[in-house]
Structure 1
Amino acid sequence: MQNPERKVRFIIFDTLKRNWRFAAMGAMALVIGQVIALLIPKFTGMIIDGIKQAEALVENRNEDVVTQWARDLLAIPQGAHFSDYIPTLLWAFGIAALISGVFQFIKRRVITGISRLVEFDLRRVLFSHLQRLPMGFYSEMRSGDVISRATSDVEATRMMTGPAVMYIGEASVLLPLALYAMATISTTLMLWALLPLGLLTTSVLYFSPRQRKHSLALQERQGDLAARAQENFSGVRVVKAFTREEFESREFNSLSSMVLESALGLALNRSLFQASIWTLNGAGLLVFLYFGAKEIAAQALSLGQFMEFTLYFGMLYWPMIALGWVILLIVRGRVSAKRINELLARDPDPAVASEGLSAEGISGTISFNKVAFAYNEGSPVVQDVSFTLPAGKTLAIVGPVGCGKTTIARLLLRLNEPSAGEITIDGKPIREYATDSLRAQIGFVPQETFLFSTSIADNIAFGQEREEREASQHAAAVAQIRNEIEELPKGFDTMLGERGVNLSGGQKQRTAIARALVNKPKIVVLDDSLSAV
């Protein structure tokens, strides 16, 4: 069975491969920053022991509470007082803190940058793939759900490859080094302090599957909510015309309640998990303080060493405290990767290919030879359709609703593939032409007029590589919309609302006709696009 995250993983690894130097710098900064940070507790313990020795000297006691490791580090000769080296230690402490801070900044900057590159690549690949999917995909998938996967799911995947990776990396470096440093102070004390951590594995195994379940339910319901909102806003005039505002509000609130239910379930599970971690952390601290105090009382441990051990203990438990959040990021990221991959796993439209014959220079003779087509393996919409339309001639196809008029137009554009028969242009089967080249020679005006939320000029020039105002004006004149456009305050630069809401039905249809004509195609297909003209 195919791994549901394989495609997303490939994109992530490809991003890392292309930016391996950047990633290596982040990894090095992470390791160096953590190693230097581990010196700070050591210097802190040495400073405290130095202060304690200074107090002993003031009281005329010649105590030496300095470890041999500290003497060797600072090259302190026997008989010299460790308190004399406190200024040096303070400087060392400050420099270590500064260097550690610099590397911590580099680490965050680089790892966050890598995760942003992953996010960019995911969105780029996903959007490009969505453009190549067949029309059947958009018939069964709601646009709101697709938008949710392309936005919130990509963001969740980024969090998995950014903060989650960073904290896991920190823990991987910090845990063994901190444990080693603690063991050099007191192996017994280290074992007592770590005793409650054995229960942490049980907590992780118990809560992680539940987090995954709640996270999947939440993200799917968020997709449903986004789809409902998108449909409602797109059809707001229909909603108002039929006074369905209250009904739509109730439906939206019902979906919102389901999202809230999933979110609260996830929050409860995460809260219980975090509570278990804090409880284990507190238990470990209590055990450590009890046995640490006993070792100090028995003079087996200096006050500085105890403080050093305490700081290591805090550094050790911070990754444990962050573990709940990291696991949530990983769980949500994996769920999101699966949802994204469900889109990436869809096969692209076989008609979308740049290979094939160039359609440039065709005369435009169209032939249908016993063509048949059925949607979703149902009853044929068109069957045994045959006709020939010579170049430069006009053919009107009329018939009742649902008889297949739009389907014939879609078959010519290769938006759908015939289940039987053959379609040719200039005697060559259309499947032999490169699809992008073929469609560039066909000016298509669909039954449902769609205009983008940009200027009128940009809408007319949509099929051009770059806008040529003169060509747009000529196409508008042919479509008999130029004069009306030029009467607008900003003329062709007038911005349109969503779906061209600030134009009348007839103006929208004529603008769409101008868009189909701007490239001077050899074939023009009008799919019931004159109803409001």
Structure 2
Amino acid sequence: MSREAGRKDGQRSGPPGGRPMGFGPGPGMMGMPGQKAKNFKSSFKRLAGYLKPFRLHLIAVFVAAILSTVFSIFTPKILGRATDKLVEPIMARLEGAEAAVDFRAIASILALLAGLYVISSLFGFFQQYLMAGVAQKVVYRLRNEVNEKLGKLPLKFFDARSNGDILSRVVNDVDNISNTLQQSLTQIITSVVTLIGVIVMMLTISPLLTLILVLTLPLSFIVIAAVAKRSQLYFKSQQTELGLLNGHVEEMYTGHTVVKAFGRERQSIDRFEEINGRLYASSWKAQFISGIIMPLMSLIGNIGYVAICVVGGVLVTRQSISVGDILAFIQYARQFTMPITQTANIANIIQSTIASAERVFELLDEEEESPEAAGSLKQSAVRGDVEFRNVRFGYKEDAPLIEDMNIEVKSGQTVAIVGPTGAGKTTLVNLLMRFYEVNGGAITIDGRDIRELERGKLRSLFGMVLQDTWLFNGTIRDNIAYGRAGATEAEVVSAAVAAHADHFIRTLPEGYDTVLNEEASNISQGQKQLLTIARAILADPAILILDEATSSVDTRTEVQIQQAMNNLMTGRTSFVIAHRLSTIRDADLILVMNKGSVIEQGTHEELLAKGGFYAELYNSQFSEETEVQAV
């Protein structure tokens, strides 16, 4: 079947919602505005549940991360011993004794040092390798669950949400989870172990120097909090302006023909420059303010270094501490502030990640379609008898749209559905194809309740041609062949000929191999409609649904298509939604709908003779057409 229900031609969204790519601070930068989770604890526990099957892998990752960090923590202390071996002869000479540099001892220390660096790197590689596998397997499972869920959600879910929001949850939020699992999780471990390990090693060297360094911590926290608070305001402004800029560019691009036709290029450029100017101002301030945190942290660190050097120098002169230990302590002091900064940044990233997980879980928890039945009907054996028995339906339970609808359509009949906008014409078709479930009564095909049929097999009985065409980015051949899997080249061409599309296709530079762009704007609206009709012809369905299928073509082509459609409808039950009543005079049955109810039904002549609602509609359209022709 032609799967066009609920889709609009050229419907494309801009960058999915969430944080736009290419802007804002990257990993490791402070002040990134994190979206906060509504229920952090439950979402965190649920996300952690996806990691349970990989418990052994995670234990190995934690052990590898700890060992890698521990081995790297020991290196400054050992390097200090090498320094002491170099300084010992100098100190001995100062005391009047002769001593030579023990290069063999230094060489053995350096060999040990090199070994520790290699072992630390190997454990680091092992940790990243394992964590990458765990993260991708978790996200692979999550993506599969989301994809399966999207296939089970009812049409009302997609009607109530924008494409951008759904894409954001499926793509951006899942990627955010992936990046955090792969990078930030191990960073937390290494940061905590580094912080604890560095403090322990500094205490073994000098508790007094450790106390001096720890006293700089409150100042570091004050700076981080002050800078993050100020920069977050500008980052929020940056994201707002970026969203406005993306929306403006998308509107101007998709509507560039209209913009040019009305000569609004200058206004469009002025609007772009206005938003871009505000974006520049907020981005510059955000990046500048978040960028000064590292110089400020370095300043605080240098204050600590000066204090350490002064006090350490005094301790060396008193021979309370060696020169090597002072050098080792300075290296530890340099390592001391980095895990604090990383942990503060990771905390914000995790907050944002849990919010992303929460959005994904909200999607996974959405109410699914009613349980799938296992029944089916063979398309070749379907007669096409359709009946609506006391059908009730409303998009909201307290606001019924259709009440007690009864329609009986015999096999091979052409049924036209007419009525004003909002009368329920499209709703009737959506119910027939089970895009929505009836609230009461039943719809049957050949006496079989459609709720007893598998949705996919039920919909394979229908062919649809909608007023809003849908074509995907691919060749014309592929777009027509979408109507039936495994269609041959000859069958595709035959369907195009029947739809009167073959001629214009062959006039294109690449013929059937012409690639339609993302919005199929490289062919006309009427040509797009011809391709969707060809697709429906190729599908060779048991039941046809036509929603103003010829509304976008010229009069001559409409006559040709109508002939092709008449041939296609022969022997098939057909539902035709029409606004131009002149096109459905030959219908076997005309259903006149208003406010969700069938208020009249009969043939064209019978309804005109009644002089009711249909007669008023027809006569008003006929008089309008006469006036237009007279003009």
TM-score range, shorter chain: 0.7 to 0.9
2:412 alignment partner in structure 1: 392
The answer (yes or no) to whether the contact 2:244–2:275 under 8 Å persists in 1 is yes
Higher relative contact order (CA 8 A, sep 6+): 2
Deviations 1:474-494 (A, max 9, x none): 433443324543454433322
The answer (yes or no) to whether the contact 1:359–1:434 under 8 Å persists in 2 is no
| Change in CA separation of 1:257 and 1:414 when aligned onto 2, cut-off 3 Å | farther
Structure 1 counterpart of 2:423, from 394, 403, 410: 403
> Which whole-Å CA distance do the structure 1 matches of 2:535 and 2:340 have between them?
60
* Letter paired with 2:82: I
2:324 alignment partner in structure 1: 304
| Change in CA separation of 1:325 and 1:527 when aligned onto 2, cut-off 3 Å | same
Structure 1 counterpart of 2:375, from 350, 357, 361: 357
| Change in CA separation of 1:305 and 1:2 when aligned onto 2, cut-off 3 Å | closer
2:78 alignment partner in structure 1: 43
| Change in CA separation of 1:215 and 1:126 when aligned onto 2, cut-off 3 Å | farther
> Which whole-Å CA distance do the structure 2 matches of 1:502 and 1:60 have between them?
91
The answer (yes or no) to whether the contact 1:456–1:494 under 8 Å persists in 2 is yes
Structure 2 counterpart of 1:52, from 78, 87, 111: 87
2:449 alignment partner in structure 1: 429
CA offset at residue 366 of structure 1? 1.3
Count how many residue pairs are aligned between Structure 1 and Structure 2. 515
* Letter paired with 1:432: E
CA offset at residue 151 of structure 1? 4.0
Does 1:144 find its partner at 2:168? no
* Letter paired with 1:481: A
CA offset at residue 306 of structure 1? 0.9
Does 1:438 find its partner at 2:458? yes
* Letter paired with 2:547: D
The answer (yes or no) to whether the contact 1:5–1:334 under 8 Å persists in 2 is no
1:188 alignment partner in structure 2: 208
The answer (yes or no) to whether the contact 2:473–2:518 under 8 Å persists in 1 is yes
| Change in CA separation of 1:282 and 1:122 when aligned onto 2, cut-off 3 Å | farther
Paired residues for 1:511-522 under 5 Å: 511-522=531-542
Q: SS of the residue aligned with 1:397?
A: strand
Structure 2 counterpart of 1:318, from 315, 331, 338: 338
Does 1:461 find its partner at 2:481? yes
Deviations 1:357-405 (A, max 9, x none): 2244443321122434444568655554321222332212223333322
> Which whole-Å CA distance do the structure 1 matches of 2:519 and 2:168 have between them?
21
| Change in CA separation of 1:123 and 1:216 when aligned onto 2, cut-off 3 Å | farther
Does 1:34 find its partner at 2:69? yes
Choose 354-363 or 494-503, whichever is displaced more. 354-363
Q: SS of the residue aligned with 2:464?
A: strand
Structure 2 counterpart of 1:480, from 497, 500, 522: 500
Choose 139-148 or 437-446, whichever is displaced more. 139-148
| Change in CA separation of 1:283 and 1:436 when aligned onto 2, cut-off 3 Å | farther
The answer (yes or no) to whether the contact 1:148–1:222 under 8 Å persists in 2 is no
The answer (yes or no) to whether the contact 1:54–1:83 under 8 Å persists in 2 is no
The answer (yes or no) to whether the contact 1:442–1:524 under 8 Å persists in 2 is yes
Deviations 1:15-60 (A, max 9, x none): x345556544443332222122123212210110001123356678
CA offset at residue 170 of structure 1? 0.6
Paired residues for 1:283-294 under 5 Å: 283-294=303-314
* Letter paired with 1:3: N
Deviations 1:217-272 (A, max 9, x none): 76677566555554554444444445455555566667667766775676577457
The answer (yes or no) to whether the contact 2:192–2:339 under 8 Å persists in 1 is no
Unaligned runs of 5+ in 1: 65-79
> Which whole-Å CA distance do the structure 2 matches of 1:120 and 1:425 have between them?
40
> Which whole-Å CA distance do the structure 1 matches of 2:148 and 2:283 have between them?
31
* Letter paired with 2:337: Y
Q: SS of the residue aligned with 1:386?
A: strand
Backbone CA RMSD of aligned residues? 3.8
Q: SS of the residue aligned with 1:499?
A: coil
| Change in CA separation of 1:374 and 1:468 when aligned onto 2, cut-off 3 Å | same
Deviations 1:277-314 (A, max 9, x none): 44543443343333222222221000011111122222
Q: SS of the residue aligned with 2:414?
A: coil
CA offset at residue 504 of structure 1? 2.4
1:94 alignment partner in structure 2: 114
TM-score with structure 2 setting the length: 0.70
The answer (yes or no) to whether the contact 2:86–2:101 under 8 Å persists in 1 is no
| Change in CA separation of 1:220 and 1:237 when aligned onto 2, cut-off 3 Å | same
* Letter paired with 1:444: M
> Which whole-Å CA distance do the structure 2 matches of 1:244 and 1:370 have between them?
54
Q: SS of the residue aligned with 2:387?
A: strand
Q: SS of the residue aligned with 2:550?
A: coil
> Which whole-Å CA distance do the structure 2 matches of 1:261 and 1:178 have between them?
41
The answer (yes or no) to whether the contact 2:177–2:357 under 8 Å persists in 1 is yes
> Which whole-Å CA distance do the structure 1 matches of 2:204 and 2:475 have between them?
71
* Letter paired with 2:81: M
| Change in CA separation of 1:59 and 1:98 when aligned onto 2, cut-off 3 Å | same
* Letter paired with 1:365: D
* Letter paired with 2:73: L
CA offset at residue 423 of structure 1? 1.8
The answer (yes or no) to whether the contact 2:389–2:407 under 8 Å persists in 1 is yes
Structure 2 counterpart of 1:157, from 166, 177, 191: 177
> Which whole-Å CA distance do the structure 2 matches of 1:509 and 1:378 have between them?
38
The answer (yes or no) to whether the contact 1:159–1:329 under 8 Å persists in 2 is no
> Which whole-Å CA distance do the structure 1 matches of 2:296 and 2:260 have between them?
51
CA offset at residue 528 of structure 1? 1.1
Unaligned runs of 5+ in 2: 1-36, 559-631
The answer (yes or no) to whether the contact 1:145–1:227 under 8 Å persists in 2 is no
Choose 301-310 or 262-271, whichever is displaced more. 262-271
* Letter paired with 1:36: F
1:3 alignment partner in structure 2: 39
The answer (yes or no) to whether the contact 2:389–2:406 under 8 Å persists in 1 is yes
> Which whole-Å CA distance do the structure 1 matches of 2:511 and 2:116 have between them?
65
| Change in CA separation of 1:342 and 1:250 when aligned onto 2, cut-off 3 Å | farther
The answer (yes or no) to whether the contact 1:278–1:321 under 8 Å persists in 2 is no
Q: SS of the residue aligned with 1:498?
A: coil
Q: SS of the residue aligned with 1:525?
A: strand
1:75 alignment partner in structure 2: none
Q: SS of the residue aligned with 2:519?
A: helix
Report the identity percentage.
Answer: 29
Does 1:413 find its partner at 2:433? yes
| Greater helix content | 1
| Change in CA separation of 1:382 and 1:499 when aligned onto 2, cut-off 3 Å | farther
> Which whole-Å CA distance do the structure 2 matches of 1:285 and 1:128 have between them?
57
> Which whole-Å CA distance do the structure 1 matches of 2:104 and 2:235 have between them?
58
| Change in CA separation of 1:529 and 1:9 when aligned onto 2, cut-off 3 Å | farther
